[in-house]
Amino acid sequence: MIAARNLTVGCRKLLSTSAYTVRSHTCDELNASNKNEKVSVMGWLSHKRMDRFFVLRDAYGSVQAKIQENSELKQLLKELPYESVIRVDGTVVDRGENRNNKMKTGDIEINVEQLTVLNKASVNIPMLPDVKSNEKTRLKYRYIDLRSDKLQRYRLQLEDDILVSLYRALRIRSEFVHNLRKFLVEKSGFVDVDTPTLFRRTPGGATEFVVPAPPPNHGMAYSLPQSPQQFKQLLMVGGIDRYFQIARCYRDEGSKGDRQPEFTQVDVEMSFTTQEGVMQLIEDMILSAWPESLIHLKPKSPFPRISYSEAMTKYGIDKPDMRVSWQIEDVKTNIFNFLKKNDGDKIRVIVCRGAGKTPISNSTKDEWKRLIQMNENGRNFAICHPSHKTWFKSLKNEKILEEFGLTEEDALVVCWGESDGVYWTLGQLRNYVAEICGLRSKNVVTAHWVVDFPLFSFEEGHLVSTHHPFTAPVDKDKEMLYDEDNDRLLQITGQHYDLVINGVEMGGGSIRIENSEMQRHVLKILSEPTEEMEHLLNALSHGAPPHGGFALGLDRFVAMLTSDGNPLTPVRDVIAFPKTKNGKDLMSDAPTTLSKKQLERFVKQNLNELIKF
């Protein structure tokens, strides 16, 4: 922690955060060594007391200022609304015995010589930064909420009696992105290329936003792409060997979960590489870019690799939370055979070591049962928890304790029924029980790769890509593509890899199909129309190198970083101006109706053309 602090401070010292401004110092940097110095500091009025003392806050921290007992400025201060922007000219003095240990600048204060009101705030300010307000108010007045410690400033934190400065949200984001770029550009020779966002629609692109085209293209529209996938592959065909972009992407998913209609991904693509090459690159990139102030969360390299089938068999999910060590186990004896109903039914268990210490109420269990049975994969289960006197009518608790070597501190989850569903159900319960035991809020970051996914999956009666139609099969399975048997096709392994952190998929990538004919064949298997993709199919036939890449969900990753490893932190906490779940910007009230001119230009003239389709 001392190291982290020094690094942060060291880094700050190199920066001239007051260069090009009219202030002499930022509010966080004054200390006893500035005693008797004349200073000019500027910021927001954040506290006042006894009409003489006040605290000035800026982007970096706070400092106390003091008006002389007999000064006329006392009246000015008294009447000045909080959050007004002021300039203080004065002299730094030692606070001596009145020092405030909880403030970074608490050793000193500024004797005010001049107090200038740069911009008075309204007395009717609707909220104050760092004072609890409801979510709607905070989004509507985002420009006030941005002044809060959480979103912007160093958080001052007392740890082992040392004040630790941690960059928060937007600053961590900026630092992390800059470090990524440094790794990619300076260490690894990648080229930062902007790709268009006004693009053509892609097959099945029902979730793409559309942008009606102005004349001379009336009757047509651009689509905002969900990712630069096609462009990055075209760049490889174009001989740009090593490409990256911090790319704005768009997805119209209405109010589906914690997602924003526009989001950012770290997009990387490389030629003449392998699956292992890309995974190694991404791992090095992430570790190299890890913010210094969060060094205690940094995972170890190499990130473990597990196969999709191993993940499903051991954890019942393709993105297991590795902060939890529990695994799905077979039952080696026939102790639970009374649970089987049909031939082929399976019984699997999870021994939840330590989970006995946390009581689980019956209503919680009922809620889990309800959630699980909403899914077609939901199977019967029982949670053998020490607080229950009897677990099964036909079997004594002691028998079970003995069978699995359980103590009163442990718990056991038993699940039975038709095969795949048993793993799925246990995967869900593993997360639920771990959550309640606090294992999923440990401030730890566990990262690993999930590999060897099936290339195709079966959904609603036909084959779909498990990820996307550009993923290449592994070499040994390439010939199986030309099998006409769906069961054989479903056995093909794709060269896809997912990066999973603390049970959340942070990004994914693949080696792509570089052969035009194979790509055409895969689109045919998927019953995707090729006419929308002729430009890509053509490109692959005009000299396309083998290539592969990766995309990291930046918003989600930074949200995880800034919350000590909690991957479920809302992404809007790390986005300057987020939208609500309903896609609204409450601050500016977007979206809005069209102006008459826009209506004319984009809708009315366009209309007949558009609906001709």
Binding positions for its own copies, 521-580, rule CB under 8 A: 535, 539-546, 575-577, 579
Task: Count residues near its own copies (CB under 8 A).
Answer: 147
Name which of 407 and 541 has its Cβ closer to its own copies. 541
Name which of 414 and 539 has its Cβ closer to its own copies. 539
Nearest to 94 by CA among 45, 34, 50, 156: 34
Q: How far is the CB of 486 from its own copies (least distance, A)?
A: 26
Region 33-52 residues binding its own copies, contact defined as CB under 8 A: 42-44
Interface with its own copies includes 206 (CB under 8 A)?
A: yes
Q: How far is CA 357 from CA 203, 246, 385, 423, in A?
A: 52, 45, 9, 25
Q: How far is CA 602 from CA 208, 219, 223, 598, 612, in A?
A: 18, 9, 14, 6, 16
Q: How far is residue 305's CA from residue 498's CA, in Å, rounded to a whole number? A: 10
Name which of 125 and 401 has its Cβ closer to its own copies. 125
Region 124-153 residues binding its own copies, contact defined as CB under 8 A: 125-126, 129, 141-147, 152-153
Q: How far is the CB of 548 from its own copies (least distance, A)?
A: 10
Region 487-526 residues binding its own copies, contact defined as CB under 8 A: 514-515
Name which of 263 and 381 has its Cβ closer to its own copies. 263
Q: How far is CA 247 from CA 165, 175, 275, 428, in A?
A: 30, 17, 22, 33
Name which of 278 and 433 has its Cβ closer to its own copies. 278
Which stretch in 92-100, 175-183, 324-332, 339-347 sits in contact with its own copies by CB under 8 A?
175-183
Interface with its own copies includes 178 (CB under 8 A)?
A: yes
Q: How many CA atoms lie within 13 A of 386 on its CB side?
A: 16
Interface residue with its own copies, options 34, 62, 64, 84 (CB under 8 A):
84
Contacts of 443 (CB under 8 A, 6+ apart): 297, 564, 565
Name which of 71 and 605 has its Cβ closer to its own copies. 605
Name which of 57 and 440 has its Cβ closer to its own copies. 57
Query: 16-46 in b/e burial notation, b at 16+ Cβ within 10 A?
Result: eebeeeebbbbbbbbeeebeeeebbbbbbbb
Q: What angle separates helix 169-181 from helix 275-289, to the nearest 10 degrees?
A: 130
Query: 529-552 in b/e burial notation, b at 16+ Cβ within 10 A?
Result: eeeebeebeebbeeebebbbbbbb
Name which of 15 and 374 has its Cβ closer to its own copies. 15
Question: 């049962």: which residue's tokens?
Answer: 369
Contacts of 576 (CB under 8 A, 6+ apart): 142, 146, 170
Region 578-607 residues binding its own copies, contact defined as CB under 8 A: 579, 582-585, 587-599, 601-604, 607
Interface residue with its own copies, options 114, 217, 301, 457 (CB under 8 A):
217
Q: How far is the CB of 588 from its own copies (least distance, A)?
A: 5
DSSP E strands in 302-371: the ranges are 305-307, 328-330, 346-352
Q: How far is the CB of 497 from its own copies (least distance, A)?
A: 14
Interface with its own copies includes 118 (CB under 8 A)?
A: yes
Interface with its own copies includes 104 (CB under 8 A)?
A: no
Which stretch in 180-188, 298-306, 380-388, 398-406 sits in contact with its own copies by CB under 8 A?
180-188
Per-residue contact string for residues 457-486; x = within reach of its own copies by CB under 8 A: ------------------------------
Tokens of 223: 């689509």
Interface residue with its own copies, options 196, 304, 361, 462 (CB under 8 A):
196
Which stretch in 67-75, 217-225, 358-366, 497-505 sits in contact with its own copies by CB under 8 A?
217-225
Question: 């960059």: which residue's tokens?
Answer: 167
Name which of 161 and 531 has its Cβ closer to its own copies. 531
Interface residue with its own copies, options 1, 3, 10, 21 (CB under 8 A):
21
Interface with its own copies includes 192 (CB under 8 A)?
A: yes
Region 225-284 residues binding its own copies, contact defined as CB under 8 A: 230-231, 234-235, 237-242, 248, 250, 252, 254-255, 261-262, 264, 270-274, 277-278, 280-281
Interface residue with its own copies, options 29, 58, 109, 498 (CB under 8 A):
58
Q: What angle separates helix 169-181 from helix 554-561, to the nearest 10 degrees?
A: 120
Q: How far is the CB of 311 from its own copies (least distance, A)?
A: 25
Cβ atoms of 505 and 534 closer than 8 Å: no
Q: How far is the CB of 377 from its own copies (least distance, A)?
A: 28
Interface residue with its own copies, options 85, 297, 436, 480 (CB under 8 A):
85
155-162 long-range contacts (CB < 8 A, ≥24 apart) are 156/61, 156/102, 156/103, 156/104, 158/102, 159/1, 160/1, 162/1, 162/2, 162/5
Helix segments in 182-223, DSSP class H: none
Name which of 11 and 295 has its Cβ closer to its own copies. 11
Contacts of 59 (CB under 8 A, 6+ apart): 26, 152, 153
Count how many residues are written for the chain: 613
Name which of 189 and 438 has its Cβ closer to its own copies. 189
Q: How far is the CB of 75 from its own copies (least distance, A)?
A: 21
Name which of 83 and 498 has its Cβ closer to its own copies. 83
Cβ atoms of 76 and 88 closer than 8 Å: no
